[in-house]
Amino acid sequence: MTARAGQRPAPRHVAGSVPALGSRPFRLLAGGQFVSNAGDGIYAVALPWYVLSHHGGAILLGTVLAAYGIPRTGLIMVGGHLSDRLNPCFGLRLAAEPSAQSVSPGRAAVEPSQ
């Protein structure tokens, strides 16, 4: 396996056991997805913690979690459908953008007004 100009090949023991890891673009995509999923998990813990510690209301907590969870659940299904029908990278970018935009109103709801 030879590397293209400007690309380092994956270590032979890693690339041999999982052939997809021999591709640098795939390693970048997988690494980015790992970091994104870790951030989603941290956010899912930090958001309720923040709401309870700064505002303490169960109704506000439920509202914020619904504003976070409902769009996420719906967009997972839309993103899965689009990635089956379209180019998977395009579907990933298309499904991730509305999810990122839907977080902003929830954040604005819990931020104290200045």
Residue 101 inside a domain? The answer is yes
Total number of domains constituting the chain: 1
7 Rama sector, left if φ>0, alpha if ψ -120 to 50, beta otherwise: beta
CA distances 18 to 15, 36, 76, Å, are 5, 22, 27
According to DSSP, residue 114 is labeled: -
Residue 13 inside a domain? The answer is no
Residue 6 inside a domain? The answer is no
- Could you tell me the residue range of the domain that residue 41 belongs to? 18-110
- What's the mean pLDDT in 27-40? 85
- What would the pLDDT profile of 37-61 be if each residue is shown by its tens digit? 898 889 888 888 888 888 878 888 8
Rounded (5°) CA angle 38-99-60 = 85
Residue 4 inside a domain? The answer is no
Residue 36 inside a domain? The answer is yes
Structure tokens at 78: 């839309």
% of the chain residues with pLDDT over 90: 2
Q: Is the pLDDT of residue 5 over 80?
A: no
- What would the pLDDT profile of 52-89 be if each residue is shown by its tens digit? 888 878 888 888 888 888 888 887 887 777 778 877 77
Residue 25 inside a domain? The answer is yes
Sign of CA dihedral 71, 91, 93, 49: positive
d(CA 114, CA 110): 12
Residue 10 inside a domain? The answer is no
d(CA 52, CA 1): 54
Of the pLDDT bands very low, low, confident and very high (cuts 50, 70, 90), residue 6 is: low
| Helix-strand-coil split of the chain, %, nearest 5 | 80, 0, 20
Instruction: Tell me if the pTM is above 0.95.
Output: no
Q: What is the pLDDT of residue 24?
A: 85
